[in-house]
Every structure is written in structure tokens, then in C-alpha cells.
Amino acid sequence: MTFVKFQPAKDFERSFYGNCGKFFNDFSKFDSDYGLTFSPRVDIIELEDKINFEVELAGVKKEDVKILLEDNVLTVNGEKKDLSKDQKEKKILRSERYFGNFKRLFRLPEDINADGIEAKFEDGILTISVPKAEVKSQKEKTIEIK
């Protein structure tokens, strides 16, 4: 038999804040004009020698994306265009996709190699590889006490 510790206050807190967070996260998808906005999903993966940013950009053309690094802030911006609006013979019964301009900013750590950053776009995924700077191993140093 397994005993489960009864913690009503913790269960209430977890449920309440979880539901509030979900509500506000869903609500934040609306912009100031109460229209839906597009914000691509991103996975950030740290490896031993680099940090990879995998940005989900299905339906976005490579030419419509710009990547910028300034003051250790990586910016990915672009536009996902709604091509169905140009086709007047279509009768859209339901549309659940988001379109529009997007901009994602990521503060990078200080120990990166900015010159080695690479990006590739394949199968709707933009992968940005940010190599870490080589850590210079310092020999033992004695500090003089004054």
C-alpha cells in the first residue's frame, strides 16, 4: 500500500496558479488590436561546445527571416504571410493558423564566439548554432597578500 501525503494548500496553489498562468498565456496571444499574432516556438539546447536555437517556422520563407546579433542579444525577426487572402475563390471555413510579423530576442552569455555563429533553415526549422568561446585554462597563480 502506498501512502499519499495530503497537502490541500499546496494542491490548491498548484492548481490555481497553473490555471491562471494558462489563462494569461493564452490571452497574451492577442495583440493590441485584439487580433491574433504569430510568435514562433523555440527550443534552446545547450551542448558542450555550443548553444543551439531551434525556431519553428513552418510556412515561412528563408528570405522573410532576419537574424541579428547586437550587444549579446540574438534577434530573430521576420514575417509569416497569409497567402490564402490573395485567393478570392477560396471559401475558408476555419483558420487556426497565426500570421504576421514576429520578433524573438535572446540574451546570450558573455562567453560566446560571435564570429562562429551559423544558421541553417531546413524542413521549417531554423537552427542557429552559437559556439561557446574557448575557455583559456589558467595556470596556477599565487596571489600576493598586501
The per-residue pLDDT for range 52-100, each reduced to its tens digit, is: 999 999 989 999 999 999 999 999 999 998 877 666 777 778 878 888 8
Query: In angstroms, how far is CA 140 from the centroid of its own chain?
Result: 40
Write out the CATH class of domain 37-86+96-131.
mainly beta
pLDDT confidence band for 21 (50 / 70 / 90): low
Q: How far apart are CA 43 and CA 52, in angstroms?
A: 8
Would you kindly state where each structural domain of the chain is located, as residue ranges?
A: 7-32, 37-86+96-131
pTM as predicted: 0.66
SS3 call for 55: strand
**Residue 112 · residue 72 · CB < 8 Å:** yes
Among the listed residues 107, 105, 106, 131, the one whose alpha carbon sits nearest the alpha carbon of residue 118:
131
With 50 as the cut, is the pLDDT of residue 33 above it? no
Taken as a whole, the chain contains a residue count of: 146
What mean pLDDT is predicted for residues 108-133?
94
